Amino acid sequence: MEQLLTTKRLDSFAKHRAEEAQHLVRDVWAQAQTGKSVNLREMLGAFSMNNVTRMLLGKQYFGAESAGPQEAMEFMHVTHELFRLLGVIYLGDYLPFWRWIDPYGCENQMREVEKRVDNFHSKIIEEHRRARQVKQGEEVGEGEMDFVDVLLSLPGKDGKEHMDDVEIKALIQDMIAAATDTSAVTNEWAMAEVIKHPHVLNKIQEELDYAVGPDRMVTESDLPHLNYLRCVVRETFRMHPAGPFLIPHESLRATTINGYHIPAKTRVFINAHGLGRNTNVWADVEEFRPERHWPEDGSRVEISHGADFKILPFSAGKRKCPGAPLGVTLVLMALARLFHAFDWAPPKGLRHEDIDTTEVYGMTMPKAKPLLALARPRLADHMYQ
């Protein structure tokens, strides 16, 4: 996985990310011209999905150059159904005999989704194999290879010439599951909290106007200098982690940590939601206050966890999420573009403080209802083309 997410390889897809950021701004601008509310869940979901699938599969599933509505809908439906089933509390995981009974049909649903996911991935792999055969002998630059191309070129285990399809499919699904829904959920939460707190929006826009100005769009090179926006993202991770729990870990051997004995093969769950609401660490835990993360020395805000481990949106240590740099970039880029290009307000008839922040618990933790908001362009018209 680390070979796929090196800085050099991520940089090779910077052009695609910039194109998708402009598509996002253009789509919001087009909706703003109608005077109707923008469905930010749909917009941000398409942005995240396109970025990931262009890097991973070499395809865009939403927009003018998409792979086609039928394939896009199949991809979306399978992905959402997979997340739904992964988030179900299933007694068969804890009481094996329950799997034989299966009164709610969970086993059958899982097998059906597994079959659809496998067929979808098989189709993707075969398409890439055929394309590689056509280009055989041609020199292909790193920026022209998506992640499936890279996987097909890597050696397999135990001296095999190539990775087998099962390994490739597993890595594809890991990347899709880890990168699509999580960044979209985080972006929607950040937008909801900022629209709910207009003084925060004013501060973000002051920073953007100073660092970027009105004559160009935000680029990835601007992101390290947007310290207040980075505080906003960190506060969003504190209050609304994309998933309530981190991926489970298991102890390889018995150990003692801070006086607690942990037997071998103990499954450990880290409550990311609880970390952000810990009253021994955070004051006014239910208040959205990005300023709490502002460093006294003015240094750059570390979004993922920093040295204090007060929040762990990407876990930590050797098993931390290898896609953290990509995830942070996608979140920052979407938010910076949207706050720089538009003023935001609740739908007509709704006050800022009435923005609904009810959560839904599952594999991820999105808003209960999609975020709708009014966008008003704040740049010259030609900037949105």
| Binding positions | 321
Distances 19 to 13, 66, 67, 157, 285 between C-alpha atoms, Å: 10, 13, 16, 37, 37
Helix boundaries (H) for the chain: 7-12, 14-33, 40-56, 69-86, 98-101, 106-134, 147-153, 165-196, 198-211, 227-239, 272-276, 324-341
Name the residue among 271, 282, 267 with its Cα closest to residue 241. 271
Q: Could you report how far apart the first and last alpha carbons of the chain are, in Å?
A: 36
Cα 1 → chain centroid: 17
Q: Would you call 137 exposed, middle or buried from its count of C-beta atoms within 10 A (0-12, 13-18, 19+)?
A: exposed
Bind-site residues for heme? 321
- 8 Å CB contact between 274 and 303: no
The two tokens of residue 189 are: 């939460």
Torsion on CA atoms 292, 298, 303, 307, rounded to nearest 10: -90
Question: Distance between CA 204 and CA 230 in Å, rounded?
Answer: 10
